[in-house]
Amino acid sequence: MAVAASATSSTLTGVRNRWVQLAVGIVCMVMIANLQYGWTLFVNPIDQKFHWGNAAIQVAYSTFILLETWLVPFEGYLVDRFGPKLLVAVGGICAGLAWFLTSIASELWMLYLGMAIGGIGAGIVYGTAVGNALKWFPDHRGLAAGLTAAGFGAGSALTIIPIANMIASNGYQATFLTFGLIQGVVVLIAAWFLSAPKAGEVSLARTVKQVTRDFNPLDMLKQPVFWIMFVVMTCVGVGGQMATAQLAPIATDFGVDKTPVSLFGITLVALTFALALDRIMNGLTRPITGWISDRVGREPTMTVMFGIQAITILLLLSFASNPLLFVVFSGLAFFSYGEIFSLFPAMSGDLFGRKYATTNYGLLYTSKGVASLLVPIGGLIRASTGSWVPMFVLAIALNAIASIACGTILPRMARAHCEKAALGLEGQPAFVPAVAGGSE
């Protein structure tokens, strides 16, 4: 049975038009992107000033990721209950305050505190924006979540070069302060335009199987398919998180960080070029793979992309000492990593419903925090072995495992989950089989 779309929400005017809501969410994501993706530019300058060591400094990054992810379920609960405005405003204040504190940090605990507050703020904004997209676009979850997540993945590309230039000219502390104030103020203003859809403002047009039951967070945690999704997302997240945090030290160790590279008619030093290209590719993959998954299914898209990620990391390891190939393969690695932030929220909405979408995806999103725990370990392995190879090998193996799981066990688990949900609704269909195309 297919459900015809009713584009009620598309006809709404002003800020309650769902495309306006999507655009506002993307703006918020762009503003908080450099909290995570610009971090690698600050690691070496901080170490040069205070000599705390890479591993100790990267604890701040892990702290940021843990609080960005592990508090999202609680923050999502507040958003699902009270709406997005107030929560995102608080997130904007936290984002600005975080980089102010890191700009004046003269001891490690101050750096950790600043990044902890930044993690709280980023988690609020991220979870709310993605959850709001899932609620407004149940008919195009992959695309909507992908576009929203692209703001986070590619948004930092707008600031990578200005941040790098400002660090070089004015120092990392002035850069923290300036960009912290900018991002905090913009998020604070954008927050007041956000709203969640009311009953009857959205209708389902399904191109992939979706349950009709809304699973509350506790019920979702009892579903085996949730934990398979959690493990798979963690596996893929490990390589991406390590590359995000350690790319600058890796480039330095391979001796390519300051080598000029020309590509697409643009010439930049390899590290700056790689960082900018990585953010663009990380953003592009999210709506592209989200759109594809709306049509061919989540699991097939995951299977292919995670396999590509394993191969790409292997190529990056093999050719990292070549400046041009370092730039190209790091970009491809981020392209095959960033899609988890569109495919998993879309799949979460498909399997667990719309009503608690923000909270439910928040629980799944905590897998990113689990993955981040290995970032300082990667630095420690490098310090003890003198090589990045063990870290790369781990990432390759985990992506291969994730790809195999998405081609075998995950589809069967998802199908069984939908059948069980259907029985729980006393014969009412809990999902609709995939149909060709889609409607708006």
Give residue 13's pLDDT: 61
Residue 438 falls within a domain, yes or no?
no
Owning domain of residue 62:
17-196+206-424
For the stretch 304-322, what's the b/e string if a residue is b when 16 or more beta carbons lie within 10 angstroms of its beta carbon?
Answer: bbbbbbbbbbbebbeebeb
Residue 299 falls within a domain, yes or no?
yes
Q: Residue 233 is encoded by which pair of tokens?
A: 């997302």
Helices (H), 72-140: 72-82, 84-104, 108-136
If 0-12 CB within 10 Å is exposed, 13-18 middle and 19+ buried, where does residue 74 land? middle
Which residue carries 């990054």 as its tokens?
A: 61
Q: In tens digits, what is the pLDDT along the chain, a chain of 440 residues?
A: 333 334 454 556 677 888 999 999 999 999 998 888 788 889 999 999 999 988 899 889 889 988 888 888 888 888 888 889 999 999 999 999 999 999 999 999 999 999 999 999 999 999 899 889 988 888 888 899 999 988 887 777 778 788 989 999 999 999 999 999 999 999 999 999 998 888 767 665 555 667 778 899 999 999 999 999 999 999 998 878 877 777 878 888 888 888 888 888 888 888 888 888 887 888 889 999 999 999 899 999 999 999 999 999 899 888 888 999 999 998 998 899 889 989 999 999 999 988 888 889 989 988 988 887 776 777 777 778 878 888 888 889 999 999 999 999 999 999 999 888 877 643 344 444 443 333 22
Give residue 76's pLDDT: 85
Ramachandran angles phi, psi of 267, nearest 5°: -120, 120
Q: Which amino acid is at 213?
A: R
Number of domain units in the chain: 1
Rg (CA), the chain: 21
In angstroms, rounded to a whole number, what is the distance separating the alpha carbons of residues 81 and 356?
9
What length does the chain have?
440
In angstroms, rounded to a whole number, what is the distance separating the alpha carbons of residues 55 and 376?
5
Residue 263 falls within a domain, yes or no?
yes
In angstroms, rounded to a whole number, what is the distance separating the alpha carbons of residues 209 and 418?
8
Please list the residues that pair with 260 across neighbouring strands: 269
In angstroms, rounded to a whole number, what is the distance separating the alpha carbons of residues 105 and 64?
15
Give residue 28's pLDDT: 94
Residue 4 falls within a domain, yes or no?
no
Q: Which amino acid is at 71?
A: L
In angstroms, rounded to a whole number, what is the distance separating the alpha carbons of residues 327 and 316?
9
Residue 248 falls within a domain, yes or no?
yes
Residue 365 falls within a domain, yes or no?
yes
For the stretch 163-181, what's the b/e string if a residue is b when 16 or more beta carbons lie within 10 angstroms of its beta carbon?
Answer: bbebbeeeebbebbbbbbb
Cβ 152 vs Cβ 32: under 8 Å: yes
Give residue 435's pLDDT: 38
In angstroms, rounded to a whole number, what is the distance separating the alpha carbons of residues 92 and 95?
5
Cβ 293 vs Cβ 306: under 8 Å: no
Residue 136 falls within a domain, yes or no?
yes
What is the CA 213 to chain-centroid distance, rounded? Answer: 26
In angstroms, rounded to a whole number, what is the distance separating the alpha carbons of residues 429 and 117?
44
In angstroms, rounded to a whole number, what is the distance separating the alpha carbons of residues 321 and 33?
28
In angstroms, rounded to a whole number, what is the distance separating the alpha carbons of residues 34 and 151?
11
In angstroms, rounded to a whole number, what is the distance separating the alpha carbons of residues 323 and 206?
45
The helix (run of H) or strand (run of E) holding residue 262 is strand 260-263
In angstroms, rounded to a whole number, what is the distance separating the alpha carbons of residues 93 and 289?
32
Q: Residue 171 is encoded by which pair of tokens?
A: 């120092």
Whichever domain contains 161, its CATH number is 1.20.1250.20
Residue 283 falls within a domain, yes or no?
yes
